[in-house]
Structure 1
């Protein structure tokens, strides 16, 4: 029988499970949908048990597929949505629904943290999405639940606990809580003591570390006869980088999904980052990464389609954009549809088009939207490049990597080589690689990348285009400061 490992990615909208063999080939894959619970505006929750059920269902479906005949599942690991708070009682059961990364109820708690520690904490900005503000919200708004709290976990760690019995958290996800020191890789319990959190911390481990096997009950529910070794796993961005082969300082990841991420590996922080750049531990034990986030990247394109191009496909929209010129006939778009994280950290800023004129076409609007998304990511990249040597190559994944026009635009705006993957599996591939590494299939992660990651096309920057984009980008950077006060006034009108 052929040995395979499972890479399980717990996203916000779905669970994706893949089976990978020792050649790095994806033998099969399945997905199960997830639903959001939104009891109030700005609230985003999920039932932790729905994650476990979806993971089990996706594995069962995969096991029963034709592709998995004569396959032996040796190991499994997880990737998952970051920051979400799963509060457990002394019996290890959830006290309430999980509060997710995209929940924005904690502005007051963020200000409280800033009052204690300043604008940054443990090398990171203080933002609504992180876990510590959620803990404070629970403490202040649900005292009965707070009294029941024994330990907190993050989403994928909860699923792993329910499937193995092991309560723990690995460093790449723990780095997004505002409670882990990313350099010492220890909980900073002085922060918790200052905020009266108590001893609610799980044990910590490396992403490739063995945590146990699927329990007998889980094996029975999956109709598995053999033991499956389970490894700790990683945060979705860390696993996404790993699954794209971004494991050293010569590479940058550009991922354009609903949100957008620019991520660069580093070995230790050289300077104070500022500008809401995140500093987290990678899934590799000796590596960290910096990251900038655009909250409405692909989501801006979704809004554009719903509003202006309802009957068109996304490919059609990008094709229309290519019919406009650089600068979109003097039109700029800022993708602040749900506020912005990097560099502004402003939950209340809103998007805008600047430069609409009588000759503006739908093609101009489409191009301005795509350029604005790319400018936002480039802004993060510029701030990140100030803290370390510039990178030689960018790996582009997600929706922005599905069209040659947008890929060339990325190369020109960033002024760097942009490469795509031949097979893009995202964070689930990174999780599978962690399981395979834990099993000892290869001696190093570099060897895994060589065997598992297949690169496709490379797009080279046009210097003249970059200079032209640079002029528009300089104006783009001024739009935030010029519209911030106006946006506040609009939001305050009752």
Structure 2
């Protein structure tokens, strides 16, 4: 039996997944690497750590799976988005990689808006200038480390760098390139207009390929270190959110995914790439060729629940808190929570806004507060669902993954607030499974990614919305949306009193 491998290069670790043609996991391995934060707002990693740990994980997954290395016919990648890896003429790393969660580039974001223009930027890239994107990082290095910038001959994103080290082939695929703020999303070319406006040599931008494109085989020395065959086919892969969407089967119109981890993501499939959202949501090329996805982000989703547990109910398990919270009434007995602990992204790109409990009464119990937190996180995610629906798109079903899918009660809250059926997957593997599916499609196991998803995706449960709860939540959601408008100026004033 043949096998493929999906490699997910995350922020804290690389995960390698080995699967067969039915999507059954035959082996997995995770290897962690350090994150460096030398100053406030800085977040960097050593690209060599990614390479070393990926090689180690590949070797170990062979050992734990016990499969014949010659049966592994292909592999592909998923990776953390936006990270800047600068390479010299000899493809040597010029400086540590600056990651997606690095926030040093606020001035560069304003410079982009000034030089390119907000409307022009949106028309080309479909996204606003935010600190997380790659272009502001490139401009920061140009300004603050000109001696290093002079050495740069090209730049890559994290998983593209690892793929280059494994194959010797330099390229960037569209789903990750879309997060650089340099790609013309619709035309699928690097934007000469943006490069000229910011005095960036367009030749620094690497060649572009599709996520499903074959880009070579393993270098002999990599094959020897990992134990894999040097004939193993390598496919370009995709950004982590795009691969997570593939793994959840978000490949056709009407399909949407809700992922609740530390942050929360609502992601919807989009075919045309022509809708206008004014930068309220992210708009990227999908790893499925010639398609796109729309994505809204709640910065503190699971993080809000984790904060509440640590601060008030640290002696209890998450599952017990959720069960007790669910016994409170819809609307948490007249209590609302906004999950703005670290600011917010969608639809309010506001770094200063902070969380609120509204309507606190002497009658409220710990479980009312806990339910308010669960509902507030879901309300915030529903703002992204609402934007997607307002554009004319269908939201037929929502696949729930991450922490929000681990609880029957929270799944029901999602179904009721989103007013749509919620699918829970039986074997959720996230972006690494999406990467494996790209390899499976690339190896011609299936005629399309959609066919692959029908085999690999296994729905364990569908939670239907309760009509009475849906109507109640619609009313409460309208009140929830007023809180931001009423508290944003107060949050800015209170900032001066935070340590």
Q: 1:406 to 1:155 in 2, by over 3 A?
A: same
Report deviation, 1:345. 0.9
What are the superposed Cα offsets for residues 38-66 of structure 1, whole Å, 9 maximum, x if unpaired? 11122111111111111111111111115
Q: Is the Cα–Cα contact under 8 Å of residues 282 and 296 in structure 2 kept in the other structure?
A: yes
Q: Structure 2 matches for 1:6-21, cutoff 5 A?
A: 6-21=5-20
Which secondary structure does the structure 1 equivalent of 2:236 belong to?
strand
Q: Structure 2 matches for 1:44-123, cutoff 5 A?
A: 44-68=43-67, 72-119=71-118, 121=121, 122-123=125-126
For structure 1, the 5+ residue unaligned runs are none
Report deviation, 1:275. 5.0
Give the equivalent residue in structure 2 for 1:179. Answer: 182
Give the equivalent residue in structure 2 for 1:26. Answer: 25
Which secondary structure does the structure 1 equivalent of 2:347 belong to?
coil
Q: Structure 2 matches for 1:51-450, cutoff 5 A?
A: 51-68=50-67, 72-119=71-118, 121=121, 122-198=125-201, 199-274=203-278, 276-450=280-454
What are the superposed Cα offsets for residues 259-305 of structure 1, whole Å, 9 maximum, x if unpaired? 11111111113432125211111111121111101111111122122
The answer to which of 78-87 and 272-281 deviates more is: 272-281
RMSD: 1.5
Q: Is the Cα–Cα contact under 8 Å of residues 70 and 229 in structure 2 kept in the other structure?
A: no
Q: Is the Cα–Cα contact under 8 Å of residues 82 and 155 in structure 1 kept in the other structure?
A: yes
- Measured in 1, the distance between the counterparts of 2:290 and 2:255 equals 16
Which secondary structure does the structure 1 equivalent of 2:435 belong to?
helix
- Measured in 2, the distance between the counterparts of 1:82 and 1:27 equals 27
Q: Is the Cα–Cα contact under 8 Å of residues 152 and 201 in structure 1 kept in the other structure?
A: yes
Q: 1:66 to 1:154 in 2, by over 3 A?
A: closer
User: What stretches of structure 1 move > 6 A for 4+ residues in a row?
Assistant: none
- Measured in 1, the distance between the counterparts of 2:33 and 2:280 equals 30
- Measured in 1, the distance between the counterparts of 2:117 and 2:194 equals 12
TM-score by length of 1: 0.97
TM-score by length of 2: 0.96
Q: Is the Cα–Cα contact under 8 Å of residues 412 and 465 in structure 2 kept in the other structure?
A: yes
Q: Is the Cα–Cα contact under 8 Å of residues 75 and 228 in structure 1 kept in the other structure?
A: yes
The answer to which of 483-492 and 417-426 deviates more is: 483-492
- Measured in 1, the distance between the counterparts of 2:279 and 2:372 equals 24
The answer to which of 172-181 and 470-479 deviates more is: 470-479
Report deviation, 1:69. 5.3
- Measured in 2, the distance between the counterparts of 1:42 and 1:385 equals 35
What are the superposed Cα offsets for residues 391-444 of structure 1, whole Å, 9 maximum, x if unpaired? 211111111111110111001001011111111111101100111111111111
The answer to which of 82-91 and 111-120 deviates more is: 111-120
Q: Is the Cα–Cα contact under 8 Å of residues 126 and 279 in structure 2 kept in the other structure?
A: no
